[in-house]
């Protein structure tokens, strides 16, 4: 039985390193002639408020352009690059347009005649995966002859890793994304994510690990210059190898275990042949989880405990918190952290997602987001509920809720939320290995 080829290549130079990864993996050998090709990068987030360095958060423009060149060399003229990025306002079309222009996609459109699209401006199609799983996917990707999947190599705070399969979540509409986030045993986020590649056209998966992300998927993770590419014509094989490169065995990544079971595949690498570099030669553990301290006296991220915060209890995020609440969750924590003046607050608890339960005896309970508000709006166990009902929550409502709870958060933090990624990325400013040129097109 032939094995699925997965290439691991060290990134050394533009185009040629991507060419080597593609050729070793034979990832374009099954590309139809004159195919209609859809390229799916990973642009998880963008802001127009500050120059946004993207290392380990967004697929490098260098890799996107190199793939386009390889496709053009094979006579492919119908090429579309598309993504459905998350914005603070789901109706915001200006921010995705700004991202594409800043990343050089407009220049690539002029140079190579490609199409560039925000999938939220395009139609969706319902896809029934069976087993009660129905999601709506971008029609352009589904109707293409071939897909090139270009994820960033990330550890992910909910799905352990975010690679080829997880990257396809950016092709589904907002209600479908929210549907994936639940805590139903055996049918949770991992179960839904495992299905995402099942109805895709033939694909090449090329994982962009020039920069990798520890505790991703966003800019608050720890970013590394890793100079790696992982490629395969089989997305599950690519992801199993990519996870191993990030330090995880298959049984540690539930959605990959589900996917292997769904397709009757072994997960012990017995049907995979790794070519190029070996896994052991390049593997480096990337932590995925943010550390929390959970005792009778404290429920908080460990850094906030070390800072000495008291009287506030922030339950750890779970799989039911969707991408939109994830965006504001970090803002909420930062606001509480910067509001600490050394005096204990009055037993305030913050709940998120869909499934959290209030702790007994807390005096004030902030319900962050529509889902948790709906779950607990009539809960008699909550002494004083402070609701933030929006989907996604509005920053002005978050500020009012904190003030009502006695936490005097800085209004400026909420007014300038779009600048927050610049705060995280400032850690890498001036370091030569974090080169902005990888996100520019000449």
Burial of residue 400 (CB within 10 Å: 0-12, 13-18, 19+) is middle
Residue 209 lies in a domain: yes
- Structure tokens, 298: 């404290």
222-232 and 4-10 strand pairing: antiparallel
- Structure tokens, 297: 């006296």
Separation between Cα atoms, residue 217 and residue 220, nearest integer Å: 8
Full residue range of the structural domain in which residue 319 is found = 292-409
Predicted confidence pLDDT, tens digits, the chain (442 residues): 689 999 999 999 999 999 999 999 999 999 999 999 999 999 988 888 887 668 999 999 999 999 999 999 999 999 999 999 988 777 889 999 999 999 999 999 999 999 999 999 999 999 999 988 999 999 999 999 999 999 999 999 999 999 999 999 999 999 999 999 988 888 999 999 999 999 999 999 999 999 999 999 988 899 999 999 999 999 999 999 999 999 999 999 999 999 999 999 998 999 999 999 999 999 999 999 989 998 878 899 999 999 999 999 999 999 999 888 888 898 899 999 999 999 999 999 999 999 999 999 999 999 999 999 999 999 999 999 999 998 889 999 999 999 999 999 999 988 888 888 888 888 888 898 999 999 999 9
Residue 275 makes CB contacts below 8 A (sequence gap 6+) with 5, 6, 7, 8, 24, 25
In this structure, are 347 and 248 located in the same domain? no
- CATH number reported for the structural domain that contains residue 128 in this entry: 3.40.50.11440
Residue 432 lies in a domain: no
In this structure, are 21 and 76 located in the same domain? yes
Backbone angles phi, psi at 425, to 5 degrees: -75, -15
Domains identified in the chain, total number: 2
DSSP string, 208-251: EEEEEEEEESSTTSEEEEEEEEEEESSHHHHHHHHHHHTT--GG
What distances in angstroms separate CA 158 from CA 69, 180, 290, one per listed residue?
Answer: 34, 12, 10
Residue 145 lies in a domain: yes
Say if CB 372 and CB 322 are below 8 A apart: no
In this structure, are 217 and 338 located in the same domain? no
Q: Which parts of 319-364 fold into alpha helices (H)?
A: 323-339
Q: Is 153 helix (H, G, I), strand (E, B) or coil?
A: strand
Tens-place pLDDT, residues 330-376: 889 999 999 999 999 999 999 999 999 999 999 999 999 999 999 99
Residue finishing a domain among 247, 269, 288: 288
Residue 430 lies in a domain: no
Residue finishing a domain among 256, 288, 320: 288
In this structure, are 234 and 376 located in the same domain? no
Residue 130 lies in a domain: yes
Separation between Cα atoms, residue 366 and residue 312, nearest integer Å: 11
Total count of residues recorded for the chain: 442
- In angstroms and rounded to an integer, the radius of gyration of the C-alpha atoms of the chain is 22
Tens-place pLDDT, residues 269-293: 999 999 999 999 999 999 999 899 9
In this structure, are 79 and 10 located in the same domain? yes
In this structure, are 330 and 185 located in the same domain? no
Backbone angles phi, psi at 83, to 5 degrees: -155, 155
Residue 438 lies in a domain: no
In this structure, are 176 and 59 located in the same domain? yes
Residue finishing a domain among 288, 315, 335: 288
In this structure, are 296 and 272 located in the same domain? no
In this structure, are 233 and 140 located in the same domain? yes
**pTM of the predicted model over 0.85:** yes
Say if CB 39 and CB 82 are below 8 A apart: yes
312-314 and 348-351 strand pairing: parallel
Q: What is the per-residue pLDDT for 52? A: 67
- Which is nearest to 412 in space by CA: 335, 344, 345? 335
In this structure, are 395 and 277 located in the same domain? no
Residue 437 lies in a domain: no
- Structure tokens, 380: 């008699």
Q: Which residues pair with 78 in a beta bridge?
A: 36
Residue 434 lies in a domain: no
In this structure, are 282 and 297 located in the same domain? no
Separation between Cα atoms, residue 254 and residue 240, nearest integer Å: 11
In this structure, are 299 and 283 located in the same domain? no
């Amino acid at each position: 039985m032939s094995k699925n080829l997965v290439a691991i290549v060290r990134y050394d130079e533009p185009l040629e390193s991507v060419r080597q990864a593609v050729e070793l993996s034979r990832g374009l050998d099954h590309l139809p002639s004159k195919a209609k090709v859809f390229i799916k990068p990973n642009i998880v987030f963008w802001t127009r408020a500050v120059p946004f360095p993207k290392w380990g958060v967004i697929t490098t423009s260098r890799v996107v352009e190199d793939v386009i060149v390889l496709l053009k060399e094979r006579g492919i003229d119908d090429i579309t690059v598309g993504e459905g990025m998350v914005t603070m306002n789901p109706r915001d079309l200006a921010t995705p347009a700004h991202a594409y222009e800043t990343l050089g996609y407009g220049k690539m459109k002029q140079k190579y005649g490609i199409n560039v699209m925000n999938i939220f401006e395009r139609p969706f199609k319902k896809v029934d995966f069976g087993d009660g799983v129905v999601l709506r996917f971008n029609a352009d990707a589904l109707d293409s002859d071939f897909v090139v999947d270009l994820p960033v190599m990330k550890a992910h705070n909910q799905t352990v890793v975010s690679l080829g399969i997880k990257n396809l979540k950016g092709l589904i509409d907002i209600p479908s994304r929210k549907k994936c986030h639940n805590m139903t045993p055996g049918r949770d986020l991992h179960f839904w994510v495992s299905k995402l590649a099942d109805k895709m056209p033939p694909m090449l998966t090329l994982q962009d690990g020039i920069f990798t992300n520890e505790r991703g998927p966003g800019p608050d993770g720890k970013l590394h210059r890793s100079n790696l590419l992982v490629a395969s014509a089989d997305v599950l094989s690519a992801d199993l190898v990519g996870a191993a490169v990030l330090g995880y065995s298959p049984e540690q990544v539930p959605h990959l275990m589900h996917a292997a079971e769904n397709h009757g595949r072994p997960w012990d690498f017995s049907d995979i042949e790794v070519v190029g570099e070996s896994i052991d030669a390049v593997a480096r553990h990337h932590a995925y989880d943010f550390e929390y301290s959970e005792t009778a006296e404290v429920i908080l991220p460990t850094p906030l405990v070390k800072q000495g915060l008291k009287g506030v209890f922030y339950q750890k995020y779970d799989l039911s918190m969707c991408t939109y609440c994830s965006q504001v969750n970090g803002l909420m924590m930062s606001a509480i952290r910067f509001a600490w003046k050394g005096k204990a607050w009055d037993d305030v608890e913050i709940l998120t997602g869909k499934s959290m339960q209030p702790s007994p005896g807390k005096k004030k309970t902030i319900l962050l987001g529509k889902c948790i508000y709906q779950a607990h709006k009539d809960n008699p166990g909550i002494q004083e509920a402070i609701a933030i009902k929006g989907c996604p929550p509005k920053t002005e409502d978050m500020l009012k809720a904190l003030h009502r709870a006695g936490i005097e958060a800085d209004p400026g933090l909420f007014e300038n939320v779009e600048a927050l990624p610049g705060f995280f990325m400032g850690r890498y400013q001036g370091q030569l290995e974090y080169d902005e040129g990888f996100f520019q097109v000449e």
